[in-house]
Amino acid sequence: MNSVLVVSSSEQGTELLSQLLNANAHSAITTAASCGEARRMLGNFEYDLVIINAPLRDELGDSLAVAVTEISTSGVIIIVKSEIADDISAKVDDYGVLVVSKPIIKHVFFQSMKLALASKKRITGLRNENLHLQQKIEEIRLVTRAKCVLIQYLNMTESQAHRYIEKQSMDMRTTREQIALNILKTYET
């Protein structure tokens, strides 16, 4: 089950989208009637999918769609009148927002939903990989600094300092990062 935020100023639009989502087994639906309300809700919770039924009371909705992509990994669909679909698409395509024109064709809507959810999964995976790599880089920086400290204060070679950190890590059954932090605390204070 995916969490979905439906942003629509019209009750009829909200009802139609809720019916379409329920028909596709997306039962965790939250609704907002304006961009301001949607922004507050997005500040408290990350949805798998955000569907914007444009226009909204306080703005068209294209800037909200772009803002959602910048603050979250949510998949975003904006539904607009067919006359302005190309203009809106030109504004939001670079951000990964999918544009569906009115009147809504069910299979196009469901296909857009699948694409938006697939892109959310991919972005989430990339974000997690990025965090893992950043942590790895930070660990390497700490270990390198600790090696430099061992070379400076204990006159070790680089390979001796590396071996020392590795051996301490194995002997103490802790991470190289923790050993590096202990070395830096000991010699840099």
Q: What is the pLDDT of residues 120-134, one digit of tens each?
A: 999 999 999 999 999
pLDDT tens digit string along 13-47? Answer: 999 998 888 876 656 899 999 999 999 999 999 99
Give the C-alpha separation, 131 to 9, whole Å: 37
Contact (Cβ atoms closer than 8 angstroms) between residue 28 and residue 2? yes
**Could you tell me what percent of the chain has a pLDDT over 70?**
97
d(CA 169, CA 182): 11
Query: Mean pLDDT of all residues in the chain?
Result: 93
Residue with tokens 């139609």: 16
Which among 166, 176, 167 is positioned nearest to 138, based on CA atoms? Answer: 176
| CATH class belonging to 130-188 | mainly alpha
Q: Which residues contact 6 (CB under 8 A, 6 or more apart)?
A: 14, 17, 18, 21, 29, 30, 31, 32, 51, 53
pTM for the predicted model, two decimal places: 0.77
The fold of the 3-104 domain, in CATH, is Rossmann fold (3.40.50)
Please report, rounded to a whole number, the percentage of residues in the chain having pLDDT higher than 90.
88
Sign, CA dihedral 12-15-97-24, equals negative
CA distance 57 to 34: 6
Domain ranges of the chain: 3-104, 130-188
146-158 pLDDT tens trace: 999 999 999 999 9
Q: Cα separations (Å) of 154 from 146, 160, 177?
A: 11, 10, 19
The predicted structure's pLDDT at residue 23: 77
d(CA 101, CA 88): 10
